[in-house]
Each structure stands twice: as C-alpha cells, then as structure tokens.
Structure 1
C-alpha cells in the first residue's frame, strides 16, 4: 500500500451523492459551507463558481469538475449578475433526484460530498488548496469524466447495488483528482513530497516501516542524498523535519488503532515505534491535545 492509499484508508473516506442540479436561464444558488469535501461535475452547459475567501471565480464548462476542500460557503450561477437564492430549499424539493433552478435545463451538474474522520483535516485536507478545478480540456481528466458519466448512469437506473457502485466511482474521482493536482500543482505539504524525487523514497520508507527507529542519516541513505540535503528539502516542501513528520505519522497510526479499540495502549505504542505507553502518551498529547486514554474515551466505538 502506498502512502496515499494509507492516508485515504486512515481518514476513513466515505462518499455521499446529492441530487443532481438542472438549471437554465437566469439563476444563482448560494450553498452553505459543506461538512466534508464537496465535489461537483458539469455534465452539460456552463456556469460560474464563487467560493468565499477565493478572490477569483472559476468558470466551469461541460466536463469540468471541482473539489472544495474547506468548509466555505459557495455560489453556483448561470448569470453573474443574478442575486443568489438559498440552495437548501431547492434541493429539499428535488423530484426524481434532480433539483431545478431558473428555467430550463441548459446546465446539469452531478454532485456529492466526501466525509472523513476527525483527524482528516490535519492529515489530508490542510495539504490541499481550497478549490481544485479540473478542466475538461486537460487530457488527464478523461478518467474523471468517465467516472462522472458512470455515476450518472448508475443513478438513472434501478440496477441492484447502483448507489454503492456510484459511491465507489466517486472515490475513484477523488483519487484521480488528487493525482491530477499533484501532477500539475507542485506546492508544499506531504502530498507534494510524494512526487518529489528526493523526498518520495524517504516518505515511502517511513510509511512502510513506521516503527523502525529512523534517523535523518538512515532516511538520507534511502533517498541517496546527504543528511543536510534531505533535511533542507523536507523543511522546504513538507514544512517540517523528517523526524517531525515521522512522529506525526506514528500518532495518526496510533489514533487509528485507538479509535478501532483493537489493542491495548502498550500494544499500540509498540506497533507504532514507541518503547512504552508513557512515551506514546507524551507524544500523543503534544500532537492531539489529548492523552491516549482520553482519546480512546472520546472516539473509540462503544457497545
């Protein structure tokens, strides 16, 4: 399992599809901040996306899709001069899985949201920009367009398991969009590190063997660079030192094991590279603000 797969598994990604949106004429809808990561794909027509806190609007055309990675209100509009109306009542009265705005159906969007566990923002979402736009003109977007089309097909039919298939296709969309973002954006954070030729070998080694007592020197040998080069590059791209990153990843693994409640705290400590429960407790509280026992009381399943 590669680091991206591990992180997606740890943050507990689930997807939920909403009603499609058909619109035409003069229309504009204002959406409340989404609880998770919102996605929409334009199946037909064009419209404008405005997101609170993002200076420039995004022009969306047929085949485009986007992710909103922050809980920010946003507006979709066919006409930039039309005052927006609340989207909630429109979607509450959706018929046959389609909400309608304005007059006609010149524009058709399919949307939904991804939900994550409570640690996701630190682990995954903070490494992403508020909006990721994937234009249809990019050849790499073909797989995303295929997934969107298949989602539409599944929702239009009554085949057994159609909703489950659509949700899995939505997860395929998320992974593809993250790949596209990494390929074209560069940027900073551990996601950017996965595509960095210096950092990727070290990141993969830490993810493959998190309990190993890694030193900067050992990670530098894995990456085939000097210690100073690795340390400087890590700080520049990931924003922290290799040891700080390793500590954070170990705590994420520990938090996952604690949430699942399938091991003692001493066993969790050993599994993620700490010699004792007390050593884990110190690092865990410094990272999460809670001791492992307090975290277990709050988040472990009951019954």
Structure 2
C-alpha cells in the first residue's frame, strides 16, 4: 500500500455522505461540517466558492473542487447572496440564526419529488451539484492531504474524466448495492483528481510522492510501505533494490527529503495511529503489525515523534 492508496484505505467512502443539489438563485450554503475532505462536482450551471481565508473561485459545469477541512467555506450563486443554511458536523443543518433544521438526510427529497439523494430549492434548478463528504480521519491520509491547498480546483478543460457523468446518473438510483457503487465512484473520482493534481509540474507534491517514479527510490518506498513489519535496514533495502548502501541512502535522502529509516518510522507510526483508533486493537498487536518488537518499543517511538503516548493518543481520539 502506498500513501495514495492509503488515502482511500483510511477515509475510504464507506457509506460516505453523498447528495445531489438542484438550485435556483438566489442560494447560498455555509459549510461548517469540519470534514477532512469533500468533493463537489458541477454537473450543470455555475457557482462561487468563498473560503473563509479569502478569495473567490468560480466553478462551471464539468469542474471539480476538493475541499481540505476543517476550515469553513461558502458555496453560493453570487458572492453577495447571504447564507440561507449552515451545514454543521454530522450533517446537522440550521438557519443562520441557529434554529435547527434537522439532519441533511431528513431534508433530502423522497423519490418522486426532487429525486433520490436530492435536495434543493427548485426541481428544475439550473445549477446541479454532486457533493461527496469523507467523514473519517486518518493519519495515513493526512500525510497526503496536508500537502493540498485548502481548495483544489480541477477544470473541465484540464482533464478528460467521465466519472462525474457516471456519478450523476447513479446518485439518483435506488438499486441493490447502490451504496457500494456510489462509494467506489466517489473514490475513483477523488484518486483521479489527486493523481492529476500531483502530476502537474507546478504542483507542490511531496518528495516521497515524486520519488515513486525513480527507478531506485520508487521501489524502495513501495517495499517500505507495503511491508512495514519487516526488519528493514538500509543494507537490506539496498540489496533489494540492487544498489550500494551509500548510493541508496544518498539518493533517497535527496529525493524524499529524509533518510530511508526516518521515512519508515514516520510511515509505521502513521499506520499505528490509524490502528489505535480501532477500539479492540491491543498495543501488542499494533506493534507487531507495524514492525516494532514490543509494545514498549512502539510506545517509546510514538512518544518521541508525536509527543504523546499511544494511550494518550487513543484517549484523545
């Protein structure tokens, strides 16, 4: 598993919140759900994205926006339109004055009205949005998400991707297994957009991501990520990649920005942190899975790097 695959193995869309919005101006939605990641695809019409940090981005049909939480933002037909509804954590909705409106799922229209998984202010609204929200936090995925801008926009003119159309067709269906179909389409749309973003020459991709294409460092990274429990040393990794220890250490550090064993430690501890979120996982079991000889060894490394013990981390989350 590499980090991009790990992104979907952490906050994978398992029953992700998906909604289709049909809107006619004036409309404005204030998003305060604190979700780590949200995708918004424009099927028809236009809209404005207004992050709290400032600035304005206009989206058109075929464009895709990825929002890296937890900062709030507003989606509106026009920058001057005041928010009419606030979306809070857990998809709880309220008026700007704080009056409760219920859950977003309660506001969605039943079949025969606006459509399955659909809400909005007009069944014939000229703006159609598809929104998918990932609500699960993951230490593995945060290594990748931390490198993204708060709002990442993929323009229709920049890439050829039929998935927005497929998702638009499937989101209003109510067939057996439909939830799993929608989850996988959302995952594919996300990973396609991220691969496009990081392939851009001007994208600030992290060193370990760019190094995946290197004939020496790329295989080394994949071995470390796919088998973290192995008793890796620089000598063993060099032998597996067919180069000398010095050559591997030098090139790895140059491309990734840290030595191989430091990279491995970060990867192991990210995996451990995600495993610690599971209530039934013992510290001994987590230590074995991520390559530490004992719970004490894992605790020492965890405390040294993250500043808290595994028990303190688990209690906090």
Shift of 1:68: 0.5
Task: Judge conservation of contact 2:287–2:295 (CA < 8 Å) in 1.
Answer: yes
Indicate the residue corresponding to 2:136 in structure 1: 116
Shift of 1:15: 4.8
1:135 aligns with 2:155: yes
Indicate the residue corresponding to 1:158 in structure 2: 174
Task: Judge conservation of contact 2:37–2:67 (CA < 8 Å) in 1.
Answer: yes
Shift of 1:136: 1.1
Shift of 1:207: 1.1
Question: Aligned equivalents of 2:11 and 2:173: distance in 1?
Answer: 31
- Distance change (3 Å), C-alpha of 1:241 and 1:122: farther
- Distance change (3 Å), C-alpha of 1:280 and 1:57: same
**Which structure 2 residues correspond to residues 1-303 of structure 1 after superposition, within 5 A?**
1-11=1-11, 13-53=13-53, 55-87=54-86, 88-89=93-94, 93-95=107-109, 96=114, 97-101=117-121, 105-119=125-139, 122-140=142-160, 142=161, 146-184=162-200, 185-189=202-206, 192-193=209-210, 195-197=212-214, 199-216=217-234, 219=237, 222=241, 225=247, 227-235=249-257, 240-260=258-278, 265-293=283-311
TM-score normalised according to structure 1 size: 0.79
Any gaps of 5 or more consecutive residues in structure 2?
Answer: 87-92, 96-103
Instruction: Tell me which moved more, 61-70 or 279-288.
Output: 279-288
Shift of 1:248: 1.4
Question: Aligned equivalents of 2:123 and 2:143: distance in 1?
Answer: 42
- Distance change (3 Å), C-alpha of 1:223 and 1:103: farther
Task: Judge conservation of contact 1:17–1:167 (CA < 8 Å) in 2.
Answer: no
Task: Judge conservation of contact 2:140–2:267 (CA < 8 Å) in 1.
Answer: no
- Structure with more helix by fraction: 1
Aligned residues: 290
Q: Secondary structure at the match of 2:156?
A: coil
Question: Aligned equivalents of 1:161 and 1:39: distance in 2?
Answer: 22
Shift of 1:44: 0.4
Shift of 1:267: 4.9
Question: Aligned equivalents of 2:288 and 2:277: distance in 1?
Answer: 16
Shift of 1:67: 1.0
Q: Secondary structure at the match of 2:190?
A: helix
Question: Aligned equivalents of 1:192 and 1:165: distance in 2?
Answer: 29
- Distance change (3 Å), C-alpha of 1:75 and 1:294: closer
TM-score normalised according to structure 2 size: 0.76
